[in-house]
Amino acid sequence: MNLKELAFPIRIYWDLSPAPDNATIDYPGICREIVEMRFFSLNLRDAGVELSSTCMEILEALNNKPIAVALTVSRSVINPSMMTRLSGLKVKELLIDAFTDEDFRFIAELRNQYNNSTMVIGASFQINKYNYRGIPDIISFCLNNDLTRIVFPMQRLTAKEECFYISRQDGKDLSNKLYPLNTGNLKLTIHDPFLWRVFYPDTAFPGAGCQAGNSMAYISPEGNVYPCPSMPKILGNLNNSPLKILLSSALKKELVKSLRKSPVACLGCKEIDHCIGGCRGRTIALSDSLELRDPACQ
């Protein structure tokens, strides 16, 4: 069916600034637009040591609205009164940034403590060149401690984060180590088709190709709107334009149209059905071209 271009995305990622609030951005107005455009989910991230007033303002504005809100925070914000508050605001998923073994233990304990909560508690683990070899140990720990929800967030390449990907050989090695573990009970969120292959080498990536701008959008802490956290192509800034205008702009439509075509370098590749062109944002970040192969493929 030809529903390849959605009127508006269904998932929005929104990172808040740990610095003082951007007073010029109309946060309640953006929340109204998000509801009006009928997004399915908001993935809100507040990386501050405390939850910002902006974050609470957004959660309150979306409370009881038909949108699933997942909130990612650092463990320093977690305390009993905050848990009650977030639960009352109907946060669907509470994801806690995990960097160390101690963080994972903390999350597992919290999850056991709030076992009966309707709010799903899980870990957000940003893979990078320093920690990727520890993935099998982390998965093993999670399986042994009933920590079943793990998100591998998209890299913020829009913020010039260092681009990281697992090489084909490292991916195979990791996959062999993961194979004996029964990951079937875990609910993993994997955005990268090549990371997907590490976990599920025999199952095609369950996506319809790069969804930047089509089913997903991203708001950076500065109010910049991008098609995806990993796609460094700015659509505009919320200080100057409403979200709805940016997400229905000719610029966005042209980008989505060009992303529907496979990269020229992938034409004829027998693996295209598996990776569906890979992460196009990563390719742009590293080469400024949509036509080259995702470096993770090599």
- Beta carbons of 111 and 122 less than 8 angstroms apart: yes
Q: Is 250 in the site for other proteins (CB under 8 A)?
A: no
Residue 72 CB, nearest distance to other proteins (Å)?
A: 17
Structural tokens at position 171: 């991916």
Q: Which is nearer to other proteins, 36 or 101 (CB)?
A: 36
Residue choice 18, 28, 88, 206 for contact with other proteins (CB under 8 A): 206
One-letter amino acid at 232 equals: P
Residue choice 49, 204, 208, 267 for contact with other proteins (CB under 8 A): 208
Edge-to-edge strand ranges of the sheet holding 149-152: 187-190, 149-152, 120-124, 93-97, 68-73, 41-46, 11-16, 216-219, 224-226, 236-237
Q: Could you tell me whether strands 68-73 and 149-152 are parallel, antiparallel, or unpaired per DSSP bridges?
A: unpaired
Alpha helix positions (H), the chain = 27-36, 53-62, 80-88, 101-113, 135-144, 168-178, 193-199, 243-247, 250-260, 272-275, 280-287
Q: Is 158 in the site for other proteins (CB under 8 A)?
A: no
Residue choice 43, 72, 74, 215 for contact with other proteins (CB under 8 A): 215
Q: Is 257 in the site for other proteins (CB under 8 A)?
A: no
DSSP state of 249: S
Q: Which is nearer to other proteins, 68 or 286 (CB)?
A: 68
Residue choice 6, 25, 143, 269 for contact with other proteins (CB under 8 A): 6
Residue 269 CB, nearest distance to other proteins (Å)?
A: 24
User: Other C-beta atoms within 10 Å of 274: how many?
Assistant: 17
Residues of this chain, 19-78, that bind other proteins according to CB under 8 A: 38, 40-41, 68
Residue 24 CB, nearest distance to other proteins (Å)?
A: 31
Give the interface segment with other proteins, choosing from 5-13, 95-103, 226-234, 274-282 (CB under 8 A): 5-13
DSSP symbols for 124-164: E----TTTGGGHHHHHHHHHHTT--EEEEPPP-GGGTPPP-
Residue choice 131, 189, 224, 249 for contact with other proteins (CB under 8 A): 189
Q: Could you tell me whether strands 216-219 and 224-226 are parallel, antiparallel, or unpaired per DSSP bridges?
A: antiparallel
Residue 252 CB, nearest distance to other proteins (Å)?
A: 15
Residues of this chain, 92-151, that bind other proteins according to CB under 8 A: none
Residue 211 CB, nearest distance to other proteins (Å)?
A: 9
Distance CA 58, CA 13 (A): 13
- Beta carbons of 76 and 82 less than 8 angstroms apart: no
Residue 67 CB, nearest distance to other proteins (Å)?
A: 9
Distance CA 114, CA 75 (A): 15
Q: Is 186 in the site for other proteins (CB under 8 A)?
A: no
Residue 286 CB, nearest distance to other proteins (Å)?
A: 27
Residue 74 CB, nearest distance to other proteins (Å)?
A: 25
Q: Is 261 in the site for other proteins (CB under 8 A)?
A: no
Contact residues: other proteins, CB under 8 A: 1-3, 6-7, 10, 38, 40-41, 68, 189, 206, 208, 215
